[in-house]
Amino acid sequence: MNLLDALLLASLATTVIMFLYGNHPRVAWMSVGFYGVQLAVAALLGYQLSQTGGTQTLGITFTVMGNPLIWTMSGLGWFFAIITIGAALFSAWYAAGEWSKDQQSLRLFHGALALNVLAMIILLASGDLLSLFIGWELVSWASYLIMAQRGGAAAQAALRYIVYAMAGAMAILVAIVMLQQYAGSLQFDAVRSALVGAPDAFVWAVMLLFGAGFMVKMAMVPFHLWQAEAYSETPGPAAAFLGAISSRMGLFALLIVLVQLIGLERLMAMDVVFSFWDARTLWAWLAAITIVIPTYIALTQSDARLLLAWHGIGQGGYMLLGIMVASPMGVSGGLLHVFNYATNQAVLFLAVTAVLYRTGTTDLDRLGGLVTRMPLSFVAMLMGIIGLAGLPPMNGFVSKWLVYKSLIDNGMPLLFLAAAIGTLGTILSVYKLIHNTFLGQLRLEHQNIQEVPWSMSVPMLIVGALVFITGYMPGLALDMVSLAQHALGVASLNYTLGGVQTEHGGLNMLWVVSILIFSIGIGALVFFMGNRSVKVHQLDNYAGGHFLSADIRYHYSHNFYAGLMRVIGPWYRGSIVWLEAAVGSAVQFSSSVAHGLYRRVNAAIYLPAVLLLALMWMWL
Amino acid sequence: MNPVLPIVIPMLAALLLPMAQRAHAIAGRWFGIAATAVNVLIAIGLWTSVSNQGPLTESVGGFIAPLGIMLRADLFAVLFVFAVSAMALLLWPRGENDRVREETLMLLLISGGCGMALSADLFNLYVFYELVAVASYGLITSRASGASYAAALRFLILSAAGSALALLGIAMVYSATGTLNLVQLAQLAPESLHGPLGMTAFTLMLLGFGVKAELFPLNTWVPEVYTAASARVSAYLAGIVSKLALIVVLRLVMTAYAHTDATSLLLVVGMITALSGELAALRATDLRRILSYSSIGQLGLAAMAFSIPGSLGVMAGTAVMLHHLVVKPALFLLAEQWQSSSDSSSMARLTGLASRSPWSAALFLLLALSLIGIPPLPGFWAKYLLISALLTEASVWQVLATGLVIVVTVVKTVYFMGIAQRLYQRDAEESSRLQWQSEVGLQQPFTPVAVLGGLVVLSVLLAAPLGDTLERLSTQTVEFSGVPAMRSASIVTSEGALP
């Protein structure tokens, strides 16, 4: 039994045990240990992969209808897998303690979580296109299960997701069949060599079909509408897991097809007709649009979970954008952002869930001032938002810096501008998130709430610490990235523990963060050693020159950024929402027609008509 | 083993059953079942001999074509002989009103069904088709409810119209070629049938046999009948009888009308059938009606597959049909089980059912997911083969058809997952309404469902050998017809068909 066998076996065992006994609180705690085991096995596997530089193949293979089914994990799959297991570990930990007290079915929650991990590992270990498709479908339906478990609105959102996912999956299946008939095999090597000589039109067709399917999972514009609602309706810790890694499965599969099968050089050689663009530029701009539009939609959200979920869509764009730059630095930045964003989103969702657990709401208009009551959650969220916004000293800064730098180095100023606009929107809306939740004056009804229990705050803070540590020492995460990059066949980046070194300057986070801490230290020194300070109570402040008495709680949260919205508000058209509704009602209408057709009593009338038509067709 | 046996044995049993009943009550009770069981054994025997020695041909009574009755047992035919008999055994009528009458009709249906599978002659096909039709009218009314009589009458009218069309088409073929033997037709077709007359004949036969095959436009009886008849009858009609009618169309397309426009007509009819069926299912509000519409959709897909020339099309179509043949009857039985204890058959009754009967709800979910086509369930392989077949030639129609498969799958996902969500809904106010429900349990009606569900699970594990068998089967089916087109003389004379 090799390490991949062991990993899948451990994951399978976790899934079975959780579905059978997950309702028991102690078993829920044990799941944390199970994920720990999986993480250890995965770490060993990673060590082995980095030593041998190769891949690890599963002991079991099948042959169905002439197609061998093989599971092989390379560095790329391993990189995504270790993030997956880590995310599951912290989600399960967070969910194991007090949080679970008011949950309906813990068995479903833990079972679905373990099933998701299993399905994702199967997908990430796929060694040919057929096993990729099987893994893909497993992941889709496992996500559906975890999203729909609450019923009601969650089930509706999940149904919307699965409709998108099935349409995408069918597109993928068609592309796979096309490749099977063209290349005569579904093995990656055979497909890769067959695509080298394939005509451009064929490669375009295959790429667009695959792309449409994988973009659904990544929630790239225009297939993004399902995600925010579905994730925000998922129970908190599961949403943290989904938000952290689930959509990245789309990125993984897209990388397989775009980078490994078609190849970036080929993408650059395929021109978009009637334009100056090639296929690579098209993908880069799709990524840029995915950064900008969902990020600004996030800005208008007034629910914390929806806001985060919309950001998740936007951040996926940075990853693809970095990879589409196709330089070692860009690819590193894109992949590193997968890890960084997973930590950011996990800690943010966990912090918002903590707020929800104590206050019962995530409505940003009904919160405020919680910093005095839940300081640890505040710290966790602060770390998360700095990371998400891409500011030092957190890890999000490093990956975004790499992406920006590679965009500028490779002469793509417009894409850089789009990415920067996206970051601006991110900063604005994460500020809105922390301001409306934790700053301002505490509401009367939240007077007596307390910090969340340790079972929830500890995992949250550990993830927050990860955000900081991998920001301080990005080399730790870049170790994993280089393994993935090697598997992708892209040249490695020259990196150190503190950052990267290139000929046009580098980045050393050890220095950046140290200077930052040093200057904050000086500020603190001045603050504490200087003149005596006055401590102002949270409620003791003014608004517009007016003194507000303590019985009128004042917190400016509704219609945040009203001024900005006056300027950019008219740009929100909701065209894609409209398009989705139009398709939906067209289907409804035609289904009414079809139903009416079958409900006719005198149906025999169709007979002569169809007969006539058919005869005409046959004769002409 | 003689391929006449599976036709003769149930027919004789049908005639003898009333007498056996009169002679001895217990003998009468087991007589029909025993005959069907023998039929199943014969089918297995035929399968082994056909797969060892190749197709068997039998001229009944020693008369050779075009005068004699030709039977031909290839793997495809034997598979359906087996399916007809085995499913009958599984869905044996429960004798709600008149046990002897129902069992007699069932035996006639088996006899006709086996005849349709084995006939190598257009006229015999028609005769057996009518036998099946008459037996089904009777079975539909076995519930003796007003709705079932109305449905049967409607079916009768449409079916009669269809039969008339089919007979007209057969007559035209005969007038043009002077023979109705399929092997001879395949030879004569290129000069005598590939003109306006032959195409007209095909159109008439397609629409005529399409009545039972649930093909557009004569399939409006489907939702009516499947809702009104008892679940076992609906399951049998949807599972088996509709496929038999499609076999006739397949035989036509493979022999007389290979390489003609006929295939594109079949493709278009299949596309309209699949799309209209699935869309109508989206709008329907009654579980059994939804299942009926979904059955129309599946048969449309099978018809689309059969329009693809060559063994890939046959393989895909057979896979779709076999999958549907296992899954749909189980769904019909589950639906009846859930709805039988209430007058209203509205979907609201299903809300929260999973908490009361978790096993049957899980089984429903499994079967629904297989119908949607989720790997590694067998429905996925059927869909994979279907898309593979459709994409072999990149003509406009086939690309359209592939797009249609995508649309249809998404629509199917919507309505099946809608039902599944309803089953698994947990709602305090709804659950009070569920007092009347209990787990379906391992009582008699559940056994066939469990067997069929077990088959689905088993086929996940046996996907590889099943695929190989299917490939052998479809190659043989194509040879039945494709060979005369190329190596005509030697094959046909060796079978003693031509003077």
Chain A from 463 to 522: CB within 8 A of any B CB: none
B428 and chain A in contact, CB less than 8 A: no
State the complex-level ipTM. 0.90
d(CA B258, CA B314): 13
B158 touches chain A (CB under 8 A): yes
User: What is the C-alpha separation between B31 and B50, in angstroms, rounded?
Assistant: 28
> Which of A 94-153 lie inside 8 A of B, CB atoms?
104, 133-134, 137-138, 141, 148, 151
Of B161, B282, B375, the CB nearest to A133: B375
Q: What is the b/e burial string over A155-164, where b = at least 16 CB atoms within 10 angstroms of the residue's CB?
A: bbbbbbbbbb
pLDDT at B484: 39
Which residues of B are less than 8 Å from A166 in CB distance? Answer: 372, 409-410, 413
Pairwise CB contact (< 8 Å): B409 & A133: no
User: Chain B contact for A20, CB < 8 A?
Assistant: no
CA atoms within 13 A on the CB side of A424: 9
Residue B369 contacts A where some CB pair is shorter than 8 Å: yes
B269 touches chain A (CB under 8 A): yes
**Side chain identity at residue A563, one-letter code:** G
The answer to whether the CB atoms of A166 and B411 lie below 8 A apart is no
How close is the nearest chain B Cα to the Cα of A160, in Å?
Answer: 9
Best of A65, A178, A590 to disrupt the B interface (most B CBs within 10 Å) is A65
Dihedral-angle region of residue A161 (phi above 0 means left; psi in -120 to 50 means alpha; beta otherwise): alpha
Residues of A in contact with B207 (CB under 8 A): 607, 610-611, 614
Contact call for A151 and B425, based on CB within 8 A: yes
Q: Inter-chain contact A177–B388, Cβ cutoff 8 Å? A: yes
The minimum CA-CA distance between A81 and chain B, rounded to whole Å, is 22
* pLDDT for B427: 62
pLDDT at position A503 is: 77
What is the pLDDT, as a whole number, of residue B476?
Answer: 83
**Cis amide bond preceding B376, omega within 30:** yes
Q: How confident is the model at residue B483 (pLDDT cuts 50, 70, 90)?
A: very low
A62-101 residues touching B, CB cutoff 8 A: 62-66
- Where residue B488 falls among pLDDT bands split at 50, 70, 90? very low
Beta bridge partners of B314: none
The CA angle A228-A232-A233, to the nearest 5 degrees, is 120
Peptide bond into A235 cis (omega under 30): no
Contact at CB, B196 and A618, closer than 8 angstroms: yes
The percent of residues above 70 in pLDDT, for chain B, comes to 88
Chain A residue numbers with beta carbons less than 8 Å from the beta carbon of B222 are 598
CA A141 to chain centre: 17
Nearest to B413 among A162, A598, A607 (CB): A162
Give the integer Cα–Cα distance in Å for A110 and A127.
28
Q: Do A604 and B161 touch (CB under 8 A)?
A: yes
Measured between CA atoms, the residue of chain A closest to residue B222 is A598
Asked if the Cβ–Cβ distance from A591 to B282 is below 8 Å, we say yes
| B488 in Cβ contact with B325 (< 8 Å) | no
Question: Cβ B427–A597 below 8 Å, yes or no?
Answer: no
User: What pLDDT, on the 0 to 100 scale, is given for residue B372?
Assistant: 93
* C-alpha dihedral sign at B40, B46, B49, B51: negative
Among the listed residues B39, B50, B53, the one whose alpha carbon sits nearest the alpha carbon of residue B81 = B39
Q: Find residue B56's DSSP bridge partners.
A: B73
Interchain CB contact of B151 with A (< 8 Å): no
Q: What is the pLDDT of residue A550?
A: 64
Check CB contact under 8 Å for A174 and B391.
Answer: yes
Distance from CA of B217 to the nearest CA of A (A): 6
Residues B132 and B119: their CA atoms lie apart, in Å, by: 14
Point out the residue among B217, B223, B410 whose CB comes nearest to the CB of A166: B410
d(CA A407, CA A417): 10
Half-sphere exposure (Cβ direction) of B268: Cα atoms closer than 13 Å: 13
User: What is the torsion angle, in degrees rounded to the nearest 10, for the CA atoms of residue B390, residue B391, residue B395 and residue B400?
Assistant: 60
Q: Please calculate the CA angle A22-A27-A32 and round it to the nearest 5 degrees.
A: 105
**Amino acid symbol at A339:** F
Helix (H, G, I), strand (E, B) or coil at B206: helix
**B211 shares contact with chain A (CB less than 8 Å):** no
Cβ-defined contact of B406 to A593 (cutoff 8 Å): no
* pLDDT range class, residue B415, cuts 50, 70, 90: very high
**pLDDT per residue as tens digits for the range B356-386:** 778 888 899 999 999 999 988 999 999 999 9
pTM score, whole prediction: 0.92
Q: From chain B, pick out residues whose CB is under 8 angstroms from the CB of A603.
A: 158, 217-218, 220-221
- Distance between B409 CA and the closest CA of chain A, angstroms: 8
Closest Cα in chain A to B376: A134
- Between positions 258 and 297 of A, the ones with CB within 8 A of B are none
User: Could you tell me the CA-to-CA distances from A169 to B69, B374, B400 in Å, in that order?
Assistant: 49, 10, 17
The residue behind tokens 């740009």 is: A571
Cβ atoms of residues A342 and A245 within 8 Å? yes
Asked if the Cβ–Cβ distance from A174 to B427 is below 8 Å, we say no
Judged by CB atoms within 8 Å, which residues 541-600 of A form the interface with B? 587-588, 590-595, 597-598, 600
- Report CB contact under 8 Å: A170, B409: yes
| B326-357 per-position pLDDT tens digit | 999 999 988 887 765 444 556 777 777 787 77
Q: Which of A66, A151, A618 sits opposite B261 (nearest CB)?
A: A618
- For residue A64, the SS3 value is strand
Shortest CB distance from A174 goes to which of B222, B406, B411?
A: B406
Would you call A134 and B376 a contact, using CB atoms and an 8 Å cutoff? yes
Low pLDDT (below 50) residues in chain A: none
- Chain A residues within an 8 Å CB radius of B218: 603-604, 606-607
Cα gap B292→B324, rounded to integer Å? 12
| CA–CA gap between residue B138 and residue B159 (Å, rounded) | 13
Contact state of A604 with B158 under an 8 Å Cβ cutoff: yes
Cβ distance B196 to A597 less than 8 Å, yes or no, reads: no
Query: Phi then psi for B133, rounded to 5 degrees?
Result: -60, -50
Chain B interface includes A606 (CB < 8 A): yes
The amino acid present at B12, given as its one-letter code, is L
- Does B71 or B413 have the greater pLDDT score? B413
Decide if pLDDT at B124 tops 50: yes
**pLDDT of the residue at B498:** 38
Identify which of A22, A13, A187 has the alpha carbon closest to the alpha carbon of residue A92. A22
Q: Which residue of B has its CA nearest to A145?
A: B421
Q: What is the dihedral of CA B27, B33, B37, B42, to 10 degrees?
A: 80
Q: Give whole-number Cα distances, B161 to A118, A123, A272, B123, B164, in Å.
A: 55, 53, 55, 17, 5
**Residues within 8 A of A (CB atoms), B 433-472 only:** 463-464, 467, 471
Inter-chain CB pairs, A–B, below 8 Å? 150
Q: Determine contact, residues B272/B265, Cβ cutoff 8 Å.
A: no
Whether B423 has its CB under 8 Å from any CB of chain A: the answer is no
Average pLDDT, chain B: 84
Q: Convert the pLDDT of each residue in B190-205 to its tens digit.
A: 777 878 888 888 989 9
Amino acid type, A336? L
